[in-house]
């Protein structure tokens, strides 16, 4: 999704996932869509990830387990 947003809306962003398979596939997708210069992917547990600088938008898609449910995940975001 981040790669598509980067392509369609010219956003920059960082994707965080605990799966090395996902981060590798995401990097390949970024190259395929020509947005590898605008997105980065970090192999990490998103529940403990803290960005170096404030962000305008944070999203969690399909992984609300990181905050032990929707409410906890929203608080983490």
Instruction: State pLDDT tens for residues 23-76.
Output: 999 999 999 999 999 999 999 988 888 888 888 888 887 778 788 888 988 888
Give the C-alpha distances (Å, rounded to integers) separating 4 from 9, 46, 60, 68: 8, 20, 15, 28
**The total number of residues written for the chain in this structure:** 77
Higher pLDDT residue, 72 or 9? 9
What residues make up the domain containing 9?
Answer: 2-76
Domain count, the chain: 1
Are residues 12 and 6 in contact, defined by beta-carbon separation less than 8 angstroms?
yes
pLDDT of 46 reads: 85
What is this structure's pTM? 0.81
pLDDT of 43 reads: 95
pLDDT of 31 reads: 98
């Amino acid at each position: 999704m981040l790669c598509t947003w980067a392509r369609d809306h010219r956003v920059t962003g960082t994707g965080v996932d605990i799966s090395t398979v996902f981060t590798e596939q995401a990097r390949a997708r970024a190259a395929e869509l020509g947005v590898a210069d605008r997105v980065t992917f970090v192999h990490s547990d998103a529940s403990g990830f803290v960005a170096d600088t404030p962000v305008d938008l944070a999203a969690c898609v399909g992984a609300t387990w990181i905050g032990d449910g929707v409410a906890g995940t929203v608080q983490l975001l």
